[in-house]
């Protein structure tokens, strides 16, 4: 087993945290339809060629807006291993419900997000880390004037410090239909206490520059776990809390997902 290098950990932390401040989204414009190894942050690993993942996911959102707004969202991810180191898929948001002091209840179909991931540098082949490209598009099927979102530029970095301890980091640049530009960068650390249980801690910073409106920025943390209980089922749970939000209401999100591999 490899030993953990504290200097290497410090180096990667400084790189990612610097990116948070240099590269500044009303929301995190993350790429949909691709697999992940943490709660939110994706890894460079791809679904094996010819195999298929189905992942129902759910989120309960509490909005700090003074109106007791609560949102519930549900959907599923479908991801196919197209080639070696290449996967593609979609997120289909089939339920979006909102309730508040102002809105008794409103239900909509969610957005459809399509994406792909290609790993072009592999840590297992004498590289110090793995790198992958990610890109996608969001189709505004939820109504209410939701915009098209194009994510042509995105990269993922994965570093395995040992067989148990790993780090994933990514960033995505998004072009939004209403002439705004968004950016999100994330980093996540996981440690397998047991082969079937990995506690995870993540941080994310997002920025959006809407046309003729004030800039929006959010910094949040996520704590949770992944549990690969069998070769074909992984359970994912997490809590995301906004620590800082500028020109947007702070939120707390409880999330759950169940990944089935076929």
Whether residue 110 has pLDDT greater than 90: no
Which among 69, 74, 70 is positioned nearest to 59, based on CA atoms?
74
Over residues 144-160, the mean pLDDT reads 92
Structural domains present in the chain: 6-261 (2.40.160.40)
Tokens linked to 253: 């999100």
> Residue 239: which pLDDT band, with cuts at 50, 70 and 90?
very high
Over residues 147-169, the mean pLDDT reads 96
Q: State how far the Cα of 168 lies from the Cα of 24, in Å rounded to an integer.
A: 19
Q: State how far the Cα of 217 lies from the Cα of 66, in Å rounded to an integer.
A: 20
Tens of pLDDT, residue by residue over 59-86, are 999 999 989 899 999 999 999 999 999 9
The model carries a pTM of: 0.86
What is the predicted pLDDT for the residue at 220? 97
Per DSSP, what are the bridge partners of residue 221?
A: 203, 241
What is the predicted pLDDT for the residue at 22? 31
Contact partners, residue 254, CB within 8 Å, separation at least 6: 59, 60, 61, 238, 239
Distances from the Cα of 159 to the Cαs of 59, 100, 128, in angstroms? 28, 42, 7
Over residues 139-157, the mean pLDDT reads 88
> Residue 98: which pLDDT band, with cuts at 50, 70 and 90?
confident
Phi, psi torsion values for 10, nearest 5 degrees: -60, -40
Contact indicator for 107, 74 with CB cutoff of 8 Å: no
């Amino acid at each position: 087993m490899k030993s953990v290098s504290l200097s290497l950990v410090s180096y990667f932390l400084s790189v990612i945290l610097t990116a948070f401040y240099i590269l500044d989204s009303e929301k995190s414009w993350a790429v949909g339809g691709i697999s992940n190894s943490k709660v939110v942050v994706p890894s460079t690993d791809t679904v094996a060629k010819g195999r298929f993942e189905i992942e129902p996911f759910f989120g309960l959102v509490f909005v700090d807006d003074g109106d007791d707004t609560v949102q519930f969202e549900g959907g599923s991810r479908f991801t196919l291993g197209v080639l070696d180191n290449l996967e593609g898929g979609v997120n289909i948001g089939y339920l979006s419900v909102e309730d508040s002091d102002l809105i008794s209840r409103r239900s909509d179909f969610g957005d459809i997000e399509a994406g792909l991931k290609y790993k072009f540098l592999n840590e297992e082949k004498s590289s110090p880390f793995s790198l992958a490209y990610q890109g996608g598009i969001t189709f505004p099927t939820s109504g209410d004037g939701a915009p098209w979102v194009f994510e042509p530029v995105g990269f993922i970095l994965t570093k395995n410090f040992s067989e148990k301890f790993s780090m994933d980091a990514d960033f995505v640049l998004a072009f939004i239909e209403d002439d705004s530009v968004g950016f999100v960068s994330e980093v996540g650390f996981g440690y397998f206490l047991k082969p079937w249980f990995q506690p995870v801690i993540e941080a994310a910073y997002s920025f959006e520059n809407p046309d003729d409106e004030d800039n929006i920025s959010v910094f949040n943390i996520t704590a949770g776990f992944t549990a690969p209980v069998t070769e074909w089922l992984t359970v994912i749970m997490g809590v995301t809390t906004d620590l800082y939000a500028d020109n947007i209401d702070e939120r707390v999100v409880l999330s759950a997902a169940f990944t089935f591999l076929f």
